[in-house]
Amino acid sequence: MKIAIAQLNPTIGDFANNIQKIAVAANQAAENGVDLLLTPELSLCGYPPRDLLLNPNFVLESAVQLQRLTEQLPSQLAVLVGVVTTNANASAHGQKPLFNSLALFKNHKFDIVYHKQLLPSYDVFDENRYFESGARSEVVTLQTSRGQFRIGLSICEDLWNDERFWGKRHYGVNPLADLEKLGVDLVVNLSASPYSVGKQKLRERLLQHSAQRHQLPLIYANQIGGNDDLIFDGGSIAINAKGEVVCRAQSFAADFVTVEFDPTQNDLLPGRIVPLPATEAEEIWLALVLGLQDYVRKCGFEKVVLGLSGGIDSALVAAITAAALEPAKVLAVLMPSPYTRESSLTDAGQLVKNLGIHSQKLPILPAMEAYEQILEPVFAGAEPGIAEENIQARIRGNLLMAIANKFGHLVISTGNKSEMSVGYSTLYGDMSGGLAAIADLPKTKVYEVCRWLNRNGEIIPKAFSIKPPAPN
C-alpha cells in the first residue's frame, strides 16, 4: 500500500484556499499511484479555529464545504481530511456541540470515521472549550489493489499519552494501546502540533518509543505555517515497527512525501528522509521567517515597515523580513536624534545595502523641539531625564504608524523577549506595531541567530553585535 502525506499550510477559515490545497495534493497522489492520502488535523478549516467554532455560520459553512470537497478529489483515491463535525447528542446529554474529526473521502463520497479522544487544554491549547471527546478508537479497512489493510486512526494528542515515555498518564485512556488491541496493520495520525525549540526531536523520540512498544508502524502528518501567535513546523514522519524513522518531510515548508507499506514484512519501507535543521539557531531562524511571512500574507498585507536603529535587534528583524518577503517589500526607516551615534547610521546603511531593502531617513530633531516647546510650561524647572528619552521612542513609533496608515504597510516592532520582560521598552514607542517579530526570542538567542546568519559571510555587520544597547 502506498501512502502519501500532504504537509499543508492552511489558512484558518479560508475554505476555498484550503480545499484547493487538498485537491492539488490529491491529484498529485493519484498521479503517483497512491492508495491513501493524509492531510493535517482540521485541514479543511485550518488549525486552530478557536472562537470561530462558536459561530454557527462557520460550523454550517464547514459542513457545506465537506460536500464541495467530495467533488474535487479523484474518485479512487482514499483521502483522510481533518474536519469539524456536529455532536448530535450535545443537547440531550449536556455535551459539547462539536467534534474534532476525521473524514474519509473515496468515490466522491465521505464518511466521518473518527472523533479525537484526547483534547489538550494546557499551554496554547483549549480544545475542551469547543469539542466533545470521541468515545472510542476506530479502525478503517482499506481495500486496495495491493490487498486489504486495517488502519488505526488518531489525531494529534491521541499519541501523546504514553505513561512509559512520560512517567505518568495525562489522560485516562491511551488510544494507541487500544488500537494495538484492535489488531491494526499501521496507525496514522493527523496532527497540528505547534512549534517550540527542539519540539521535533521530542516528537520523534515519543513516536519511536511508541512504535517500538506497540510494534506498530506510525505515520504522522503535521501542519505547517504561521497562524497568529502559533507556528507549525511540519516535519511529518513515518516510523517503522522497529522505531526507525523511514521518511521525513521538510521542516517549515509545505511538502508532499510518499511511503510504502509492505504486507509481506508488515512494515513500512524506507523512503525520503529530509534532514532536520543542523543547529538550534537555524531552526529558530526558519521558524521566525515562516511566522512573519505567513502573518503578513494571511492578514493581506503587501509591504512592511520597521525602524532601523543601528542595534542588533532591529538588524535581525530587518534580515528576517527581507528573507520572509521580497526585499523590495521592506522599508527600513532611520530616525536619528541629536543623540544618535553617527556610526549607527553608517552601520544601518551597510545593513540596508547587504539586504537589498528600501530605506528612508527621517531626522526627528524638529519633532523633539516641538514637544519641548509644547511641554515647557509643564516641565519648567525639571531636569531632563527618562521622559525626554521616551519622547524620542514615541516620536519614532508615530512616524512608523503614519507611514503604515498612509500606504497600508504593516509595522514590525523589534523588541526582544529579554527587554520586553523587564520593561526595557517604551509604551507607544518601540512597542508600536502589528507584529513583534522577535518578542519570544531572548537577547542571547538574538546574538546566536545573528552569528548563524553570518556563518558564510557578513550579512549583519559585526558592529551591530558589539555595541551596547541604548535607549535612543
pLDDT of residue 340: 84
Opening angle at CA 115, ends 191 and 57, nearest 5: 90
Residue 251 exposure: Cα atoms within 13 Å on the Cβ side: 24
pLDDT of residue 469: 60
Element (H, E) at 204: helix 199-214
The answer on pLDDT for 472 being more than 60 is no
Query: Residue 361 forms beta bridges with which residues?
Result: 334
Phi, psi of 187 (to 5 degrees): -120, 135
pLDDT of residue 429: 85
Tell me whether residue 373 is exposed, middle or buried, using C-beta atoms within 10 angstroms of its C-beta: 0 to 12, 13 to 18, 19 or more: exposed
Strands (E), 158-222: 186-191, 218-222
- Please, are residues 268 and 258 in contact by the beta-carbon 8 Å criterion? no
The answer on pLDDT for 470 being more than 80 is no
The answer on pLDDT for 145 being more than 90 is no
Helices (H), 215-336: 280-298, 312-324
DSSP 8-state symbol, 133: P
Given the DSSP bridges, would you call strands 147-155 and 139-144 parallel, antiparallel or unpaired?
Answer: antiparallel
Q: Given pLDDT bands bounded at 50, 70 and 90, which one contains residue 94?
A: confident
Instruction: Please tell me the least confidently modeled range out of 105-109, 344-348, 452-456.
Output: 344-348
- Average confidence (pLDDT) over 262-287: 97
- Average confidence (pLDDT) over 273-285: 98
Q: Given pLDDT bands bounded at 50, 70 and 90, which one contains residue 190?
A: very high
Domain annotation for the chain: domains and CATH numbers = 2-276 (3.60.110.10), 282-466 (3.40.50.620)
330-334 β-sheet, strand order? 358-361, 330-334, 304-307, 410-413, 435-436
- Average confidence (pLDDT) over 134-154: 95
Given the DSSP bridges, would you call strands 36-38 and 267-268 parallel, antiparallel or unpaired?
Answer: unpaired
Question: Mean pLDDT in the chain?
Answer: 95
pLDDT of residue 366: 96
Separation CA 321–CA 310 (nearest Å): 16
Nearest to 449 by CA among 417, 410, 421: 417
Share of residues in the chain with pLDDT > 90 (%): 89
The answer on pLDDT for 92 being more than 80 is no
Chain segment 4-55, per-residue pLDDT in tens: 999 999 999 999 999 999 999 999 999 999 999 999 999 999 999 999 999 9
- Average confidence (pLDDT) over 114-126: 96
pLDDT of residue 467: 66
What is the number of H-type helices and E-type strands within the chain? 14, 20
Catalytic residues: 41, 116, 156
From the centroid of its chain, how far is CA 100?
Answer: 19
Tell me whether residue 71 is exposed, middle or buried, using C-beta atoms within 10 angstroms of its C-beta: 0 to 12, 13 to 18, 19 or more: exposed
C-alpha cell at 65: 464545504
Chain segment 424-464, per-residue pLDDT in tens: 888 888 889 999 999 999 999 999 999 999 999 999 998 88
- Average confidence (pLDDT) over 253-272: 97
Helix then strand then coil, in percent of the chain rounded to 5, is: 40, 25, 40
